Amino acid sequence: MRLLWPIALITFKEGIRNRSIYGISLLALLMLVANFIVSDMMSQEVGKVAVDMALSAVSFSGLLLVLFVGINLMAKDLDRKTIYMVLAKPVSRAQYLMGKFLGVTLLIIACLTILSCFAAASLFLIKLGHPDYFQRFSWPLVCLSFSFITLMLILVAALSFLFASFTSTSFITFILTIISYIIGMALNDVKALVEAPQAVGITVSPVTVKVVQTAYYIFPNLSFFDIKTQAAHGLPVSPSYIIGVVGYGVVYITIVMTLAGLIFRKKEFP
């Protein structure tokens, strides 16, 4: 930990001072302002739309943060050979990787906390203007949703570290991370579809079913972390689901980072 902290801290500082953060924050603010406008235009279900939009704004901005800042913090070290300055110190490759990941995790938590506060403020103001539409509104559910989004983004960041450990450029890491995110978000629905194709009147080959089932166990199921619908409709989320999702996220991150560490240990930096 003594060695991880300096690496984490410079990673965090480098990330938080990156100008891309301003752009992402501005986009998030615009989306939250749009939330006011859209809510005012709605004649019904204002509460549900407002919650859905606020959570989507935080989730989308967070994803941009991981893709455009988080990936660069790791992959650019390899592209630009900044890694030399770290590995020339008495730091092992595993410590470097864990320190960087800790720094990116701190960055995600700090930025998501700020974005969530803005989103919560927008919901609070819309709720003040339309109290009748917020009968089933629940702050704990909204906060839980923010926390799940944060955990999901940390998982996506861990995936980007795994990809950076074996790819040669930050661009390939970027592409692989986006693909994994898209697959992870759609996996649940696609699996349900290919396993019961008759429900929508289509036929699916057994090979496709096997491929999707295999992907289901390899790629992270990011839809587990998405409880926007429950938060928007004020539907309760069971404690066992919360424990399951947190456990799934932590175990997946641990496996991914262990794999990244094993690959990174052998990696050369010519």
Partner 1 sequence: MIKFAGISKEFKEGVTARRVKALDNLSLEIGQGEIFGFLGPNGAGKSTAIKILLNLIYPDTGRATIKDMDVGDKNVRRFVGYLPENPYFYDYLTAEELLWFGGKASGMTKKEITERSGLLLDKVRLLEARKRPLRTYSKGMVQRAGLALALIHDPQVVILDEPMSGLDPIGRKMVGDIILELKGEGKTVFFSSHILSDVERFCDKVGIIVGGRLRLTGSVAELLKEGEMLEEVFLREVNAAGLKEVR
Positions touching partner 1 (CB under 8 A) are 2-3, 5-7, 9-10, 13-14, 17-18, 80-82, 84-92, 268-270
Residue placing its CB nearer to partner 1 in the complex, 52 or 79: 79
Residue placing its CB nearer to partner 1 in the complex, 3 or 193: 3
Of 2, 10, 122, the closest CA to residue 58 belongs to 122
The pair of structure tokens assigned to 257 is: 């980072």
| Least distance (Å) between residue 105 CB and partner 1 | 18
| Least distance (Å) between residue 213 CB and partner 1 | 35
Cβ neighbour number for residue 224 with a 10 Å cutoff:
19
Of 114, 75, 68, 85, the closest CA to residue 6 belongs to 85
Residue placing its CB nearer to partner 1 in the complex, 102 or 183: 102
| Least distance (Å) between residue 80 CB and partner 1 | 4
| Least distance (Å) between residue 264 CB and partner 1 | 13
The pair of structure tokens assigned to 19 is: 């100008």
Of 175, 259, 255, 184, the closest CA to residue 215 belongs to 184
Residue placing its CB nearer to partner 1 in the complex, 8 or 141: 8
Quote the CA–CA distance of 122 and 208 in Å, as a whole number.
44
| Least distance (Å) between residue 79 CB and partner 1 | 9
Residue placing its CB nearer to partner 1 in the complex, 80 or 136: 80
The pair of structure tokens assigned to 222 is: 């990011």
DSSP 201: T
Q: Alpha helices, DSSP H only, in 17-138?
A: 19-41, 46-65, 71-79, 83-87, 93-129
Residue placing its CB nearer to partner 1 in the complex, 168 or 205: 168
| Least distance (Å) between residue 81 CB and partner 1 | 6
